[in-house]
């Protein structure tokens, strides 16, 4: 019943920036801790950033200092500001809640970091 739509991905050079957006359709968005996940070809999906209902954040070591997750409860949006992008950040990025069971995965948005 909850749907998420990710957007904002694209092709960017190393060192560049992108801002990803996630629109959530559910009624109780403000009650859920949220996260951004990514999956590169041949690799497991991994959590890259999380944000609690109170706004506390956590990040995978690989993105600390470069990525910032935020949320707008009034607009039911989650954002991921990605700076100083590296080729190893190339993946499909997905938005979901942090609690289990997770919602159905959306289509994600492709981020490609390449010269």
63-73 pLDDT tens trace: 999 999 999 99
Contacts for 80 with CB less than 8 Å, ≥ 6 apart: 19, 20, 22, 36, 48, 49, 67, 68, 69, 93
Q: What is the pLDDT of residue 6?
A: 98
Q: pLDDT-derived band of residue 15, with 50, 70 and 90 as boundaries?
A: very high
Q: How far is the C-alpha of 9 from the C-alpha of 76, rounded, in Å?
A: 19
Mean pLDDT of the chain: 97
Reduced to 3 states, what is the DSSP secondary structure of residue 31? Answer: helix
Contacts for 44 with CB less than 8 Å, ≥ 6 apart: none
Contacts for 30 with CB less than 8 Å, ≥ 6 apart: 53, 73
Q: What is the pLDDT of residue 63?
A: 98
The answer to whether residue 101 scores a pLDDT higher than 90 is: yes
pLDDT digits (tens, 9 = 90+) for 21-74: 999 998 999 999 999 999 999 999 999 999 999 999 999 999 999 999 999 999
């Amino acid at each position: 019943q909850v749907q998420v739509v990710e957007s904002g991905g694209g092709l960017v050079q190393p060192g560049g920036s992108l801002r990803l957006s996630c629109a959530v359709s559910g009624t109780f968005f403000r009650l859920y801790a949220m996260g951004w996940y990514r999956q590169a070809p041949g690799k497991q999906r991994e959590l890259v950033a999380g944000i609690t209902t109170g706004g506390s954040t956590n990040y995978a070591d690989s993105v600390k200092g470069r990525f910032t997750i935020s949320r707008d409860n009034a607009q039911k949006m989650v954002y991921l500001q990605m700076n100083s992008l590296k080729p190893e950040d190339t993946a499909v990025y997905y938005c979901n809640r942090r609690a289990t069971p997770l919602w159905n995965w959306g289509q994600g948005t492709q981020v490609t970091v390449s010269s």
